Amino acid sequence: MLLIVGGCAPQPGSTATPSPSADGLILTSYQTQHYYAELDERTSERQVEALRRAADSGQMSYAEIEELMFDALACMDAAGASYRRAGDWAVAPGVVVPTVQLGEPDEVGQACMRKHYDYAFWAFSRQPAVVEAEDAALEERRESIVACLREQGREVEDDMPMDELLQEANDAWIDLVVAWEKMGSPPELEPVEEQFCRPHIEF
C-alpha cells in the first residue's frame, strides 16, 4: 500500500510555499492553494470553501483539515477503493497533518484525494509556521551543509543564502550521480545518502 500524506495537486512547482505575486505581494500557502483549487474543476466545493476561509483568516484547524480527509475517505468507500488511515505526520513542532495509505485501485484513491483533500493538505503543510520551522532547522545545520559541499569540491561561502546552498547541494548530488553513471554504474561506488548535502528535516 502507498502512504499518501497528500496527493499531487497539479500546479506550478507542485509546492505551496509562499510565493511572490505579480504585484510583489507575498501570498500565504492558503491563498495560493485556494487560487489553484478554484481553477481545478475537479475540486469539491467544501475544499474550496475551507481554503477560502483559511485564505481570509490565515489559519486552518486540524479539525477542519481532518473533515476534508474524511470526505476523501467517504469518496473512496463509495467507489470501492481500499485504504487505511495512517498516523499523523508532524510537519513542524506542534503541527501535525492526517495521512492515509491508499490501496487499489490507486487511481481512484488519487482522484478522491485530489477532489477533497490535496489542496488543503499542501496549504496546511506549507503554512508560515511550518516554513519558519524548516528554515530554522536548516540554519542550525548550515555548518554541516557548507562542510559537506566543500568536501565535494564546491566553492561556497559561510554566509551564502540558504536557498543557494540547497541548490548547490542538489547540483552536487546530480554531478555525483552523472559521474557514477559515466563510470558504468559500479555498485561499489554508487553515491550514498550521506553524500547528499541537503539535510532531511523531520520533526
pLDDT (tens digit per residue) in 51-79: 999 999 999 999 999 999 999 999 999 99
pTM for the complete prediction? Answer: 0.73
| Whole-angstrom distance, CA of residue 47 vs CA of residue 57 | 15
* E-strand stretches of 68-130: 83-85, 89-92, 95-97, 100-102
Is-contact 36 14, C-beta < 8 A? no
pLDDT at 14: 36
Q: What average pLDDT is seen over the chain?
A: 88
Q: For the chain, what's the residue count?
A: 203
| Whole-angstrom distance, CA of residue 32 vs CA of residue 51 | 9
Q: Which residue has the higher pLDDT, 94 or 120?
A: 120
Confidence of residue 23 (pLDDT cuts 50, 70, 90): very low
Query: Distances from the Cα of 162 to the Cαs of 77, 83, 176, 189, in angstroms?
Result: 44, 38, 21, 29
